[in-house]
Amino acid sequence: MDILQNLFYGIGVALSLQNLLYCFIGVLVGTLIGVLPGIGPLATIAMLLPITYNIPPVAALIMLAGIYYGAQYGGSTTSILVNLPGETSSVVTCIDGYQMARQGRAGVALAIAAIGSFIAGTICTMLIAMIGPSVAEYALKFGSPEYFSLMLLGLVTAAVLAQGDMLKSLAMMFLGLMLGIVGSDVDTGIKRFTFGFFELADGIGFVVIAVGVFAVGEIISNLSETEERMVFTSKVGSLYPTLQDLKQAIAPILRGTAFGAFFGVLPGTGPSIASFGSYMIEKKIADDPSRFGHGAIEGVAGPESANNADAQCKFIPMLTLGIPASGTMALMLGALMIHGITPGPSVMVQQPALFWGLIASMWIGNLMLVVLNLPLVGLWVSLLKVPYRMLFPAIMVFSAIGIYSTNNTSFDVYLAAIFGILGIMWRLFGCSPIPMLLGFVLGPMMEENLRRALQVSEGDPSVFLTRPISLAFLIATALVLIVMVMPAVRKRRDDITG
């Protein structure tokens, strides 16, 4: 009964007044940016990272996590009501959710999305509580070679599963590793790639890269496109699904959860893959597939559960192994590091309050979302009327203050401007910046583990192949690469990620 004991301990942590407050702020901000198109959880979390310096790490992580899953939730609200996905993960919800809304069943669609997300969240919380400790315990035995190979597996998987050209994603990952080693070398203290700037001695700031690429770069990109806004038309209608609705939805919810949980632990697969996959399965096994696209409740229940399950299970590799499975998780790792916590399996042992508190807070946060969202739907939708031209300068202001306040130096602000330009350049060239961010976070740790592994083996690189666990990771890495270059798989992947 360790699991229950741990969960209750976590709930105790999460229910402290301070943590509840930050959880609430997190899901509120998350819903807000989820509703607003043009700003995503990645940019928001990056922008708000500096604010979390002043609050305890548990509260900081709880808030950032709330932004993350809250955003997904807000995204589905606008998908259903105005056929406008706030986040990519809710694109497929538009298909049947908006049709339901047009049939006057918007309230039911929203409620089913909420119930599905909540069930998925509950199951995944239990899942993390069950498998998290054993994964971490196992990983505690890892030496440097195992770690190096594991990080390589995580990064390569993330790069090949990420959207866009595989070759370029892999190259971006290596570029990220490179950017990660800017600054003083841990071993010798020699300053590398600092170009004489003392501000770079501690490396490029995490916030600088994240805000530069994902806030500034994103805005330049948005301003380059023509602005389109849909206007809210349909009525919300009754919020209460009938018994028949629930009966129809429960199986898709459970299947979606399983699907999302599976893809959640895989690095690089965004929530959109989980939700698309769930939608396709529901359509395939339905008695009457022609109902899909015309307001089938399964088409909302499945994908919405899947993307929530995915979001939550992404925390498993991040918390237990210190491997970020997505851009947002890389930011979470950054938040841990900012607070002086070294990510990895030891987090659970050394910071039990953080681990269990965070997990329990996600469950509580999901409950808050249900309560917060259903009655306030009208308010969220009216926010859609805020035009982007008023939104982006505000984002710039918060970004600038966030960057400047990290080290109180203007240098970081200038550097963020450069990364904004790099960010838009990468977008033009079709290079996904996410693998770069993951590489950037893991760069220093990878170098350190490579160095240590080779030191112990007296410079013999076969150490990575003779240790069984390390070998298993490397074989898995090779398999991932081989499978993804097979033409059939490649085509399917392109179909799913579009």
Partner 1 sequence: MVERLLKNKDFWAGVMFIGFGAAAMFIARDYRFGSAKLMGPGFFPTILGGILVGFGVCITAVGLLRGEKIQERLSIRALVLLPLSLILFGLLVQSAGFIPAIAVLMFIAALSGRQFRFLEVLVLTGILVVATVSLFIWGLGLPYPLFKGF
Which residues make up the interface to partner 1 (CB under 8 A)? 51, 54, 165, 167-168, 170-171, 174-175, 177-178, 181, 185, 187-188, 190, 192-193, 216, 219-221, 223-225, 227, 388-390, 392-394, 396-401, 404-405, 410-411, 413-414, 416-418, 420-421, 424-425, 427-431, 447, 450-451, 454-455, 458-461
Q: Which is nearer to partner 1, 180 or 302 (CB)?
A: 180
Q: Tell me how far, at minimum, the Cβ of 169 lies from partner 1, in Å.
A: 10
Q: Which is nearer to partner 1, 337 or 447 (CB)?
A: 447
Give the DSSP H or E segment for 183: strand 183-184
Q: How many CB atoms lie within 10 A of CB 320?
A: 26
Q: Which is nearer to partner 1, 178 or 239 (CB)?
A: 178
Q: Which of 257, 266, 358, 348 is nearest to 303 (CA)?
A: 257
Q: Tell me how far, at minimum, the Cβ of 39 lies from partner 1, in Å.
A: 14
Question: Measured between alpha carbons, how far is 35 from 380 in angstroms, rounded to an integer?
Answer: 7
Q: Which is nearer to partner 1, 202 or 460 (CB)?
A: 460
For residue 466, give Cα distances in angstroms to 44, 408, 462: 44, 48, 6
Q: Tell me how far, at minimum, the Cβ of 237 lies from partner 1, in Å.
A: 35
Residue that is written with structure tokens 């995204």 in the block: 75
Phi, psi (deg, nearest 5) at residue 90: -105, 15
Residues in contact with 6: Cβ distance below 8 Å, sequence separation at least 6, in sequence order: 129, 133, 352, 356
Question: Measured between alpha carbons, how far is 248 from 384 in angstroms, rounded to an integer?
Answer: 31
Q: Which is nearer to partner 1, 83 or 144 (CB)?
A: 144
266 residue type, one letter? L
Q: How many CB atoms lie within 10 A of CB 476?
A: 16
Take residue 391 and report the two structure tokens written for it: 């939104």
Take residue 261 and report the two structure tokens written for it: 């949980």
Q: Tell me how far, at minimum, the Cβ of 330 lies from partner 1, in Å.
A: 18
8 A C-beta contact, residue 111 and residue 349: no
Q: Tell me how far, at minimum, the Cβ of 63 lies from partner 1, in Å.
A: 14
Q: Kindly state the DSSP code that residue 343 receives in the 8-state scheme.
A: P
Q: Which is nearer to partner 1, 23 or 219 (CB)?
A: 219
Q: Tell me how far, at minimum, the Cβ of 497 lies from partner 1, in Å.
A: 17
Residues in contact with 315: Cβ distance below 8 Å, sequence separation at least 6, in sequence order: 65, 128, 329, 332, 358, 359, 362
Q: Which is nearer to partner 1, 370 or 396 (CB)?
A: 396
8 A C-beta contact, residue 120 and residue 260: yes
Going through 310-391 in order, the beta strands assigned E by DSSP cover none
Question: Measured between alpha carbons, how far is 115 from 247 in angstroms, rounded to an integer?
Answer: 13
Q: Tell me how far, at minimum, the Cβ of 91 lies from partner 1, in Å.
A: 19
Q: Tell me how far, at minimum, the Cβ of 162 lies from partner 1, in Å.
A: 15
Q: Tell me how far, at minimum, the Cβ of 477 lies from partner 1, in Å.
A: 15
- Residue 191: strand, helix, or coil: strand
Q: Which is nearer to partner 1, 15 or 220 (CB)?
A: 220
Question: Measured between alpha carbons, how far is 435 from 431 in angstroms, rounded to an integer?
Answer: 9
Phi, psi (deg, nearest 5) at residue 50: -60, -30
Q: Which is nearer to partner 1, 312 or 470 (CB)?
A: 470
Q: Tell me how far, at minimum, the Cβ of 160 lies from partner 1, in Å.
A: 13
**Crossing angle between the packed helical segments 17-35 and 352-383, to the nearest 10 degrees:** 40
Q: Tell me how far, at minimum, the Cβ of 22 lies from partner 1, in Å.
A: 14
Residue that is written with structure tokens 């579009």 in the block: 498
Q: Which is nearer to partner 1, 220 or 353 (CB)?
A: 220
Q: Which is nearer to partner 1, 190 or 488 (CB)?
A: 190
231: exposed, middle or buried (Cβ count in 10 Å: 0-12, 13-18, 19+): exposed
Q: Which is nearer to partner 1, 262 or 398 (CB)?
A: 398
Q: Tell me how far, at minimum, the Cβ of 331 lies from partner 1, in Å.
A: 20
